[in-house]
A and B are shown apart, each in its own frame.
Chain A
């Protein structure tokens, strides 16, 4: 270490690391949901790099190249399966992290930008999911992307522009596949790194948020290095074990190759994190008091998401560190809607 120490003075960094303390209280388990998401994203980046060596993002070969990855490549089945299950768990933990943050009101002043950056990261993660499963180029993925991009077109004003941007044409075609590949392996990872950098910096800048109910108590503080980090690592190891077990025992399917001229399979469904939207779309009839039900559905969903995004501004009481039961109820309502619609969608 002498060689290095002669050139670089790390004492400032070490002092900074020593200063990082985390409060202990009865809700502190939620602090671990962010870290595990980071860990799963690292797993995704690494397994994704391996898959990218072999995947062919061209519509005639995409489907076949995946079959070759899982049948011919050394450990290929494992990487694909791990990438699939890593994605499911990453998005699952992101939702847990989101609702934990929501219900503990960690978004309140001064941490609004933490909420916004995290929320956009969730949006990116969902787009990662959609673009990722479109790369399979199977019937279900094809239908899902037609619906997702076609649904965007129902938004007023910008809808058609968004649709053209996502599809790279008037239709979902091989062009869309190349585009989604570029999103999946280049645009979204870059955006994730940049935004995650902001997110992590803000966590360090503000320190951990303490819920209103625990504020003012004389909370014990434990050092992040090593106490909290070791707990993080324990949790990551457990989650890795679970993900690897799922990946080994439940390798994901691949459907029939997509055919733009064939109807989608009977009872086609999107990935689980789209089920609440899917079920919502089914609820709205085509005609509501003479208005276009599809547009109403898409606009209402967009407004509900926008309200969710801007919640730090609406929740005035939390801004002043007061208890805010109304927003607890709103948060629980969002959570219940998400959970119930996901379950109904799954079993419908």
Chain B
């Protein structure tokens, strides 16, 4: 039966109904899949607390001591002039771990042959940015390493 003044045919109506059903179903499924494919990302730590500060700070000049900055590599680095700094040991190019070369007084990334000087400046090769430095202080027998410009208070025991 066809109505005289109907704007849509029965076929158009059904196609729209089922087409709409399929489109809604697919859109919802894809959105759910998209959400499911990404876990809660977490983030890099703002600070880490290390026991036995002496193990890190009393290293010989012109050497480094690694520590875990979350899942990444961090270094406590004593320059040849005895100044001590903390930095992230990850290349600013493609995130490979870097290594300190005492004979060159430079950090080196073996992945694409990038070099950083003692102050973390990218001096040679592909790294586009300097290394990231942290701040640190010793408090209650602990070494507290934190991101620059962040205030961290340790709970008083």
The residue in B39, B112, B129 that gathers the most chain A C-beta atoms within 10 A of its C-beta is: B112
The reply to whether A147 and B66 contact each other, CB–CB distance below 8 Å, is no
* Neighbour of B128 across the interface among A150, A175, A278, A287, CB < 8 A: A287
Q: In whole angstroms, how far apart are the Cα atoms of A295 and B94 in the complex?
A: 11
Instruction: Identify B110's interface contact among A168, A267, A278, CB under 8 A.
Output: A267
Which residue of chain A is the closest to B39 with respect to CB atoms? Answer: A168
Chain A proximity mask over B11-42: 1 for CB below 8 Å, otherwise 0: 00000000000000000000000000111011
Contact with B along A50-84 (1 / 0, CB 8 A): 00000000000000000000000000000000000
Q: What residue in chain B is nearest A269 (Cβ atoms)? A: B111
CB distance from A188 to the nearest CB of B (A): 15
Size of chain A's interface in residues, with CB distance under 8 A? 34
Q: B73 is contacted by which of A168, A175, A261, A286 (Cβ under 8 Å)?
A: A261
Q: Restricting to A167-200, which residues have a CB under 8 Å from any CB of B?
A: 168-171, 173, 175
- For B38, B111, B113, B114, the residue with the greatest tally of chain A CB atoms inside 10 Å of its CB is B111
In the assembled complex, how far is the CB of residue B93 from the closest CB belonging to chain A, in whole angstroms? Answer: 6
For B93, the chain A residues whose CB sits under 8 A away are 281, 286, 294
**A266 CA to B39 CA, complexed, in Å:** 33
Determine how close the nearest CB of chain A comes to the CB of B119; give it in whole angstroms. Answer: 15
Residue on B with the closest CB to A168?
B39
**Most chain-B CB neighbours within 10 Å: which of A171, A263, A278?**
A263
Instruction: Name A254-312 residues within 8 Å CB distance of B.
Output: 260-268, 278, 281-282, 284-287, 292-295, 297
**A266 proximity list for chain B (CB < 8 A):** 110
* Cross-chain contact B112 with A286 (CB below 8 angstroms): no
**A286-B114, A286-B126 in contact; A262/B71 too (CB < 8 A)?**
no
Residue from B66, B96, B126 in contact with A284 in the complex, judged by beta carbons closer than 8 Å: B126
B127 nearest in chain A by CB position: A286
| A109 adjacent to chain B (CB < 8 Å) | no
Shortest C-beta distance, A198 to chain B (Å), equals 20
> Is there an interface contact between B111 and A268, defined as CB atoms closer than 8 Å?
yes
Known interface pairs A264-B110, A265-B110. Does A286 touch B125 (Cβ–Cβ under 8 Å)?
yes
Q: Which residues from 30 to 86 on chain B have a C-beta closer than 8 Å to any C-beta of chain A?
A: 37-39, 41-44, 66, 68, 70-73
Separation of A279 and B98 alpha carbons in the complex (Å): 19
Contact A263 B128 (CB under 8 A): no
**Across the interface, do B96 and A146 meet the contact criterion of CB distance under 8 Å?**
yes
A261-B66, A286-B125 known; A171-B112 Cβ under 8 A = no
Annotate A103-133 by CB proximity to B: 1 below 8 A, 0 otherwise.
Answer: 0000000000000000000000000000000
A282 to B95, CA, bound (A): 14
Our count of residue pairs bridging A and B at CB distance below 8 angstroms stands at 95
Kindly state whether residue B99 has any CB partner on chain A within 8 Å.
yes
> Known contacts A263-B99, A293-B126; is A147 also within 8 Å of B72 by CB?
no
Q: Which one, A265, A281, A287, A292, contacts B94 given CB within 8 A?
A: A281
Of all chain A residues, the one with the shortest Cβ separation from B71 is A171
B117 to chain A, nearest CB (A): 13
Interface size on B, residues (CB 8 A): 33
Whether A264 pairs with B128 at a CB distance below 8 angstroms is: no
Contacts of A286 in B (CB 8 A): 92-93, 114, 122, 125-129
For residues 111 through 163 of chain A, which have their beta carbon under 8 Å from a beta carbon of chain B? 143, 146-147, 150-151
Q: Would you call A335 an interface residue if the criterion is a C-beta within 8 Å of the partner chain's C-beta atoms?
A: no
CB distance from B110 to the nearest CB of A (A): 5
Return 30 A-B CB contacts under 8 Å, by A number.
Answer: A143-B110, A146-B94, A147-B111, A147-B112, A150-B94, A150-B95, A170-B42, A171-B70, A171-B71, A173-B71, A175-B39, A261-B66, A261-B72, A261-B97, A262-B97, A263-B73, A263-B89, A263-B96, A264-B96, A264-B110, A264-B111, A267-B110, A268-B96, A268-B111, A278-B112, A281-B93, A282-B126, A286-B125, A287-B122, A294-B126
A interface residue numbers (CB < 8 A to B):
143, 146-147, 150-151, 164-165, 168-171, 173, 175, 260-268, 278, 281-282, 284-287, 292-295, 297
Q: Which residues of B contact A (CB under 8 A)?
A: 37-39, 41-44, 66, 68, 70-73, 89, 92-99, 110-114, 122, 125-129
The 5 closest A-B pairs by CB, nearest first: A150-B95, A263-B99, A286-B128, A147-B94, A263-B97
